[in-house]
Structure 1
Amino acid sequence: MATPAQIANDMTAHATFWAKRGDDRVAKACREAAAQIRDELDGVGADWRSWNHLNRTLLELATDENARHYQGYPNFTRARLCLEELRRGNAK
């Protein structure tokens, strides 16, 4: 299993890739997920509204049937579950 830091690094790499492909929605979600994971690791944490918005976006992208077949599509479920565990204080 990947650590939260590894997941944040993975999402940053995905953000760069998808920005070059011109998919700003996916790139932005990846950047925000990486930033919130790092903030949680640093003990800062996001406010409820920001966290909820990102959580909803990650859910929508993870269930997008039209996009999931792309090779290299980010694992939004893994990022969302990582954020949930960090918010609960259970992540290692």
Structure 2
Amino acid sequence: MKPIGTYLPSGLPAATATATAPAAPAAAPPPPPPIGPNPRMRLDPALGIVVTEFLDASGKPARSVPSASQIEAYRNAQRGLT
């Protein structure tokens, strides 16, 4: 019985990677992006709602759902200000 993965479906032996590929200098992997998950979610504990923030290239929030003005309206409504 032939081991799995050493032969092609046609029955021909698979070529080895070192025999067909020329030796190339090892390139350093690119550095990881400076920001974490995008979008990120956070809990606003005062309001008890989840805020989804979309980050820009520098990692700062560019947009959020709900928006900053909506969050402020929720805070005002909670305080009794309309």
* Same fold at TM > 0.5: no
The structure richer in helix per residue is 1
TM-score when normalising by structure 2? 0.29
Give the structure-1-normalised TM-score. Answer: 0.27
